[in-house]
Amino acid sequence: MKIYFAGSIRGGRNDAALYQQLIERLQDYGTVLTEHIGDPELTTDGDGESDEYIHNRDLKWLLSSDAVIAETTTPSLGVGYEIGRAVEHKIPVLCLFRPGQGAKLSAMVSGCPKATVLEYSETQEAFDAIGQFFAEQF
């Protein structure tokens, strides 16, 4: 199974360690095409490639994936774009969101009937949601 993990890069890297934990758990279910998202050395500047290169590479990975798991707590235009494209191509999507500090998930994500959205506060809850998502979808 090919899994596309989406998480903020240019929108902020405060959750990089969490992304790495989620990616490690996702590797129990298949190959994570975007494991670099959890790299603590990755900055908001990205991986040094041109914007066009990143778009084309990531879109190719996204469209070849069997599932998309998106950590949506840190707002990111790119993650929203990826969720939309996945839904458009009928790829199952799980959006994970930690409410708090006044943050609210975009209505375009939380109101999307083709995406599964789970609010969580502890990492184990996210792990459990991932397991349930894969059990229900595949």
CATH number at residue 124: 3.40.50.450
User: What is the distance between the alpha carbons of residues 47 and 63, in angstroms, rounded to a whole number?
Assistant: 21
Q: What is the pLDDT along the chain (138 residues), one digit of tens a residue?
A: 999 999 999 999 999 999 999 999 999 999 999 999 999 988 888 888 899 999 999 999 999 999 999 999 999 999 999 999 999 999 999 999 999 867 899 999 999 999 999 999 999 999 999 999 999 999
C-alpha torsion angle, residues 67, 64, 7, 131 (rounded to 10): 20
pLDDT of 101: 66
Write out the residue range of the structural domain in which residue 103 sits: 2-137
Q: Tell me how many domains the chain contains.
A: 1
Q: How many Cβ atoms sit within 10 Å of the Cβ of residue 107?
A: 8
138 CB-near residues (< 8 Å, 6+ apart): 1, 66, 67
